[in-house]
Structure 1
């Protein structure tokens, strides 16, 4: 998501875009992409949703160095009308929502250092492009992302961005999707992370709960470690349908009257796939 409390860096356009400056990447930069890419594509075929893997193939993302955004956007535009634009880092909410509403995905143009392979606080080009862009080649998810951007513009006028940010967090970044009797990964924060790609599906610690829009938007989340909750959507079609057919204005008013739900809580009405032990998070607190 975005960050409203930042100042536009010198040299950026009014919409905060910059040149990707692909020629400035070093051999080490490309090698870092290749290393990250190789280990994820070895890990994900039995874990990620097929729509994500199909997007990798369709967009020709590969172990061949950091993609050129112009070439990538040409392929993406033909598939779903989206493009990838470079930004220097996090952007304000209004800028972020405007780009999504107009089918532009903002991506950082920098890549992490080799000693940061497993964790980076600020999203880099690998998280943004490998994690997010493949699903933008899927027509239904592409429509969901645009609908989210339009919804964000409305939420800003209603003072409800914090509520809506939870929807982004628990779907776009850390979402699971039902696949038969199991779940698959689709959230960018998971599929771009070697360690969380395993944790999200295999570890007994987190809760895995069926998607419920209102419940999700009441639920706190953490930004500094593995998630304690994962919400499981039934399908991308259902996610889009619920987003398009919900009147968010009354929902925001209703949410104002109800307390937040603590991260690890299980509610009686929850559709529980896995009731987690929360052992990972509790061990971190104890330490």
Structure 2
């Protein structure tokens, strides 16, 4: 989810799109992309959902250098009808939802600097393209993203964007999935982060809780550190079904009367995969 001013900056179209400007990337930027790519590609097999690896291969993202959006879009559009559009940074919610609803994924066209290799606050081209785009080549996940965009347009009219933002955060950005041989990563915020790719699966600190739509939309999240809770879906098919076949309006109305759930909170009805120690969060907060 994104937040920004309501007027596009100079040089951007009304829908906030801009040219990628591929020819302006420097040799150092291409080298930094390759460094980031190699680090993640080396450690993700066996940790990430197989559809992600298949997407990397199908889209030929293993080739060196920052991908050209026009070439990437030829392959992506043929696979699922999606395309990547360049934007200058964060875009307003309604613009973001409209792009997703029409199978366009907005991606920042800038790359982090070497001193931001492990963390940056605003998503860059590596997070957006490496993290998000491979799964857009999977037909079921591609349908989920479109359904989410359509739901976002409806949520805006119901004053429920914050609720839906939590669904995006805990699935598209920081979701885990249950596989035959254990949990796997699929959220873009995890798969594009070296540290969180390890933390989300291996560390005893976070809770890992079975996905429940209402529970997720009540749960606050962290924007500046590793998550204290991750939600585990059973499959992309089930995630799509729950999103596409659910009337969210009565859920939003019901949740308005219920309190938020804390980032580390465990409820009696939760389906637990791991009850975390929360040691990481306590240490970061200076607690023993």
Bin the TM-score by the shorter chain: over 0.9
Per the TM alignment, residue 62 of structure 1 is displaced from its structure 2 partner at its CA by 1.7
Q: Residue 130 of structure 1 aligns with which residue?
A: 130
Equivalent residue of 1:286, what SS? coil
Per the TM alignment, residue 141 of structure 1 is displaced from its structure 2 partner at its CA by 0.2
Aligned-partner Cα distance in 1 for 2:160–2:5: 16
Q: Residue 101 of structure 1 aligns with which residue?
A: 101
Kindly indicate whether the alpha-carbon contact (under 8 Å) linking 1:38 and 1:63 is maintained by their aligned counterparts in 2.
no
Q: Deviations over 1:114-146 (max 9, x none)?
A: 111100110000000000000000000000000
Per the TM alignment, residue 86 of structure 1 is displaced from its structure 2 partner at its CA by 0.1
Kindly indicate whether the alpha-carbon contact (under 8 Å) linking 1:17 and 1:87 is maintained by their aligned counterparts in 2.
yes
Equivalent residue of 2:123, what SS? coil
Q: Deviations over 1:205-230 (max 9, x none)?
A: 00000000000000000100100000
Show the 5 A alignment for 1:1-40.
1-5=1-5, 7-40=7-40
Equivalent residue of 1:66, what SS? coil
Q: Deviations over 1:207-264 (max 9, x none)?
A: 0000000000000001001000000000000000000111100000000010000110
Aligned-partner Cα distance in 1 for 2:95–2:220: 24
Is 2:240 the counterpart of 1:230?
no
So what's the TM-score if we normalise by structure 1? 0.99
Per the TM alignment, residue 69 of structure 1 is displaced from its structure 2 partner at its CA by 0.3
Name structure 1 gaps, 5 residues minimum: none
Per the TM alignment, residue 4 of structure 1 is displaced from its structure 2 partner at its CA by 4.2
Q: Residue 142 of structure 2 aligns with which residue?
A: 142
Show the 5 A alignment for 1:150-161.
150-161=150-161
Aligned-partner Cα distance in 2 for 1:263–1:107: 28
Which ranges of 4 or more aligned residues in structure 1 deviate by more than 3 Å?
4-7
Q: How many residues align?
A: 287
Aligned-partner Cα distance in 2 for 1:252–1:13: 33
Aligned-partner Cα distance in 2 for 1:63–1:82: 20
Equivalent residue of 1:167, what SS? helix
Aligned-partner Cα distance in 1 for 2:258–2:63: 48
Show the 5 A alignment for 1:216-255.
216-255=216-255
Moved more, 222-231 or 1-10: 1-10
Per the TM alignment, residue 285 of structure 1 is displaced from its structure 2 partner at its CA by 0.8
Aligned-partner Cα distance in 2 for 1:122–1:36: 16
Aligned-partner Cα distance in 1 for 2:88–2:244: 31
Name structure 2 gaps, 5 residues minimum: none
Show the 5 A alignment for 1:189-200.
189-200=189-200
Is 2:209 the counterpart of 1:209?
yes
Aligned-partner Cα distance in 2 for 1:146–1:285: 38
Per the TM alignment, residue 180 of structure 1 is displaced from its structure 2 partner at its CA by 2.0
So what's the TM-score if we normalise by structure 2? 0.98
Equivalent residue of 1:18, what SS? coil
Aligned-partner Cα distance in 1 for 2:114–2:131: 18
Aligned-partner Cα distance in 2 for 1:64–1:7: 35
Per the TM alignment, residue 5 of structure 1 is displaced from its structure 2 partner at its CA by 3.7
Equivalent residue of 2:16, what SS? coil
Kindly indicate whether the alpha-carbon contact (under 8 Å) linking 1:81 and 1:103 is maintained by their aligned counterparts in 2.
yes
Per the TM alignment, residue 6 of structure 1 is displaced from its structure 2 partner at its CA by 5.1
Aligned-partner Cα distance in 2 for 1:69–1:43: 25
Go from structure 1 to structure 2 and tell me whether the alpha carbon gap of 1:118 and 1:6 turns closer, same or farther (over 3 Å shift).
farther
